[in-house]
Chains A and B, each alone.
Chain A
Amino acid sequence: DTGVSQDPRHKITKRGQNVTFRCDPISEHNRLYWYRQTLGQGPEFLTYFQNEAQLEKSRLLSDRFSAERPKGSFSTLEIQRTEQGDSAMYLCASSLGWTGTLTNEKLFFGSGTQLSVL
């Protein structure tokens, strides 16, 4: 168990380019979350998956954003036609998922991908 890993750690791109980030959760974890964090702010929820199913998307996730989790393992987050406002840290987290009558889980976070859009 090596924890949640994200790739790349840093990404610098020009406005208008497409970028894709990858997240590898802890192997037995069913749930995978994407968050975005700008400097001086707390992480903001973007979307989450239960296995391969995307169950919820935040209004922050515009049409330029798409996330996938094929086969319920790793996940990718793609941003098309990047804008300067997309510059942020993109955090991935995973958890075991539903364990009883009330969701009772601990989220494990990756180290994030820092995106800079020039």
Chain B
Amino acid sequence: AQTVTQSQPEMSVQEAETVTLSCTYDTSENNYYLFWYKQPPSRQMILVIRQEAYKQQNATENRFSVNFQKAAKSFSLKISDSQLGDTAMYFCAFRGNEKLTFGTGTRLTIIP
């Protein structure tokens, strides 16, 4: 079974600064996808970024980028130039065969 671990329950950062959220996972599969989802107070799950395990190049989406270390089974999310609207719960998720397995989340607060 896959497990996803997010070791930072809460983080806060000043607006415009850069913040990195950590995620590690455990799997015996070789082909899989990794995701970061954002859940604002509305509780709508929003896909932020995804990474295919077979790609060595780290994914980027505007201010969001990942540092994917396959051997270490690490998948961190970096948010640059943080904005107040980035305040939310962030979940790391693993997808192997058929379903997503989520971590316990990191509550990120952007301070004005």
Say yes or no: is A43 at the interface (Cβ < 8 Å to chain B). Answer: yes
B95 to chain A minimum Cβ distance, whole angstroms, is 7
Interface residues of A (CB under 8 A from B): 33, 40-45, 48, 55-56, 89, 91, 93, 102-104, 106-107, 109, 111-112
Q: Which residues of B lie under 8 Å from residue A42 when comparing CB positions?
A: 4, 91, 93, 102-105
* CA distance in complex: A44, B104 (Å): 10
Contact B100 A107 (CB under 8 A): yes
Determine if B99 and A43 form an interchain contact, defined as CB atoms under 8 angstroms apart: no
Determine which residue in A33, A55, A91, A102 has the highest number of CB atoms from chain B within 10 A of its CB, and name it: A102
Stretch of B41-49, B57-65, B79-87 contacting A (4+ beta carbons < 8 Å): B41-49
> For chain B, which range describes its interface: under 10, 10 to 19, 20 to 34, or 35 or more residues?
20 to 34
Separation of A41 and B39 alpha carbons in the complex (Å)? 11
User: B3-23 interface mask toward A, CB cutoff 8 Å, 1 = contact, 0 = none?
Assistant: 010000000000000000000
Q: Which chain A positions have C-beta within 8 A of B42?
A: 111
Contact: A89 with B43, CB < 8 Å? yes
- CB < 8 Å: which of B44, B101, B105 contacts A111? B44
A111-B44, A112-B43 known; A56 vs B105 contact (CB < 8 Å): no
Q: Does B28 contact A (CB under 8 A)?
A: no
Q: Are A91 and B98 neighbours in the complex by a CB distance under 8 Å? A: no
Partner of A43 from the list B50, B97, B98, B102 (CB cut-off 8 Å) is B102
A103 to B103, CA, bound (A): 21
A29 to chain B, nearest CB (A): 15
Extra 10 A-B pairs, beta carbons < 8 Å, given A42-B104, A45-B99, A48-B98: A41-B105, A42-B93, A42-B102, A42-B103, A45-B100, A89-B43, A102-B31, A107-B47, A109-B46, A111-B42
